[in-house]
Structures are given as structure tokens and as C-alpha cells.
Amino acid sequence: MIFGIVAIIVLVVAAVLSVDTIARKVAERRVRAETGMEATIENFRIGFASSSVHIQNFVLKNTAEFGGGPFVEMPELYVEYDRNALRSGILRLKVVRINVASIHVVENKDGRRNVDGLQQQPGKIKQAGISTNKTGSPLIFAGVDKLDVTLRTAKFTSYRAPDQNMEQDLGIRDERFNNLKTDMDFQTAAAVLALKAGANFLFAGDLKNLGMIFKSSSKHAKKPKRIAGDPATPVGKN
């Protein structure tokens, strides 16, 4: 699930950087075309002087098959990118700040989950999201220098087994990582987030449900292309 969210973020940012006008609508249509889910963005600001993108109130909605409600609610996504690298066809993100208010995993009556389709085609999302820049040349994703993650609430709804429905605070606030460049870097960051969320479920007496939420993600996730770089380093709050 974490890798799916990262893929969506890269997709949105790359879509923004590939156009000069109507960037918000282009990003919404791009996400919808690649995920099959409707995306809406309330506020959208591109800081050309600061080489930044600031998105507020991003919502990715489930399809009708999974109830049609929000899948991901993200109050804020802030990104600073390397402009010089971008001119050379390299998408290097210097700062990424993600604030996710809610992730809603839904299981239909046939046992399929809304995360399954997203996890089965991360390569397609990655390729489509960073395929071209304004000149039409390929963009290469070179990683994230600094990542700050807040994950607040996880929900699980099953139309097949309603007794398993749950909602839980993940307890992840401003979790920070440096130098995410390789396959292992992103896996390490995802593991740290999963472990921290797991501890909160454990204290809440609901660790079993955490396993259900992440089971599908770990089963279908594919490894991104390895790029040389330093290992991911979690850092504490300032």
C-alpha cells in the first residue's frame, strides 16, 4: 500500500512538471487514467522561483465496485524538486512532505480489495507518470532526499465479512527519512512505517486487522528499479 501511494505521488508531480497551464486538471486526469479512480485536488500551487509544488486536499476515490467513497485523503503534499536535474531529464525530489488523513481499504463481496489493482500495476503507473517532460524526453526518477510522512487513520471495510470492519489511528506523525534512492531504501522506509503502525495497533489490541490491511500490499508489490545511492536513514524530529 505504501508503494502504491508513492507511485501516485510521483505520478501527480510528474504530470505537474510536464505542463505549463491547467496543471491541476491535467494531474487529476492523469491519475484517473492510470488508476481507474477519480482524483480531485482543491488547491494547487506551483512555485517556479522555489522549484516547488504544493497540493492541498488531494482525494482519490474508490470505484463504484468498492463503494465509491474516498480511498486516500491527503490534506497536504509538498514537494521541492531539483530544477537543474529536471533539465537533464532527471526527476530528483529534494523535499517531500506527505500528510495523509485517511487510507480506506475496501474488500468487495468477492474478496477483491481496492488496493489489489493498484499494486498489480505499479510499473505501469511509474512508467506512465514519469514518461516524458516538456520536451518529450524520458524522465528518470532519481529518488527523494528528504521525506516527511504523516499517516493518521486506516480504515478497513469488508462487504464480504462486515464483522472485520475497523478504523484505527496509525499514530505516524512527521516520520522522517533521508536519501531514499534505491529499492532497499524505499522498502526500509515502508517497513519502519509498518512497524510503527503495528505497534499502535498492538496497543489497541487490533494487530490482526493491521495484517489484513498490509497483506495485499506485500503480496503484490513489485520492486522499483535500483538506483545507486546511500541507504535510507530515518531521522528524529527537530
Query: How does pLDDT run across 48-60, given as a tens digit for each residue?
Result: 788 998 889 999 9
Q: Residue 34's closest CA among 10, 52, 17, 58? A: 10
Going across the sheet that includes 140-158, the strands are 39-47, 52-61, 70-81, 90-107, 140-158, 166-180, 233-235
Q: Residue 233's closest CA among 175, 191, 186, 177? A: 177
Average pLDDT over residues 38-53: 85
pLDDT(206) > 50: no
Could you tell me where the DSSP H helices lie in 61-182?
Answer: 83-87, 114-120, 122-129
pLDDT(152) > 80: yes
Confidence of residue 180 (pLDDT cuts 50, 70, 90): very high
pLDDT tens column, 109-138: 999 998 886 655 444 444 434 444 455 556
Q: How many CB atoms lie within 10 A of CB 210?
A: 22
User: Per-domain residue ranges for the chain?
Assistant: 2-235
Helix (H) or strand (E) holding 6: helix 2-17
